Amino acid sequence: MTAEPTTTPAIEFRDVVKRFGDNVVLDGLGFTVEQGDRVTLIGPSGSGKTTILRLLMTLEEADGGLILVDGDPYTHEYRGDKWVRIPEKRRSQIRRRVGMVFQQFNLFPNMTVLENITEGPIHVLGKSRAEAVRRAEELLDQVGMAEKRDAKPNQLSGGQQQRVAIARALAMDPEILLLDEVTSALDPEIVADVLGVLRQIADTTDITMLLVTHEMRFAREVSNRVLMFDQGRIVEEADPETMFTAPTHERTQAFLKAVL
């Protein structure tokens, strides 16, 4: 008899609490993202969506609860009879599995496009320069930016910078890619280009994706699950078709009416 295959979720939040002063942003949040899932978080501004991504990048620290990546506790673990903080060395090993693309691109301004992409693989992953360059060229080709390899970020349009930022994130071979409003700083006619690149990544890799977006078209095209988020809690979850055509929760209905 063969054992049932078990899969560990790529991301799990258990009772996560996050406060900024008196402002309780996440109030015992729980959700999971399965391996290879493409999950979109939607919801009103200020509801805590970006905070979730920032916690996963360890750019913020939770005030309570547990965050697991591939089943590994990422913040604290229960040892003996008490909760202890995960040592920084182990946190950084886990963090390497996670890549993030930001709304404002965040490229290194004084480096060329190629250097932006090879920096992490050489200095963090310890790849040889030749190997890092070979992979960077492959990724630049994939995002349609091969001709700009020697340009500096300020010589590029917003859409081009975002495509380089996507290539830079992928160069670190992440298992999980976090995308935070990656099209909201872009002109409308450029949005489709960036969506096309992300769509292609979704179609050709098994990277788990967790995205925050106001672009409902993006959520619809790229994701297989949508979580509606309000005041630090998930109020509804569904596949995109159901979420956008037949939402059941009144908060979702009101939100979608306002944005669609």
Which residues here bind ligand ADP, judged by CB under 6 A? 20, 23, 25, 43, 45-51, 212
Q: Which residues, in sequence order, are bridge partners of residue 101?
A: 179
Query: Which one, 153 or 232, has the nearer CB to ligand ADP?
Result: 232
Burial 106-144 (b: 16+ CB within 10 A, else e): ebeeeebbbbbbbbbbbeeeebeeeebbebbbebbebbb
Query: Minimum Å distance from CB 46 to ligand ADP?
Result: 4
Distance in Å, CB of 229 to ligand ADP, minimum: 7
Residue of 143, 182, 181 whose CA lies nearest to 163: 143
Residue whose CB is less far from ligand ADP, 6 or 45:
45
**Which residue lies nearer to ligand ADP by CB, 59 or 246?**
59
Q: How far is CA 142 from CA 57, 145, 190, in A?
A: 25, 8, 17
* Closest to ligand ADP by CB, 49 or 135: 49
| Separation CA 63–CA 174 (nearest Å) | 26
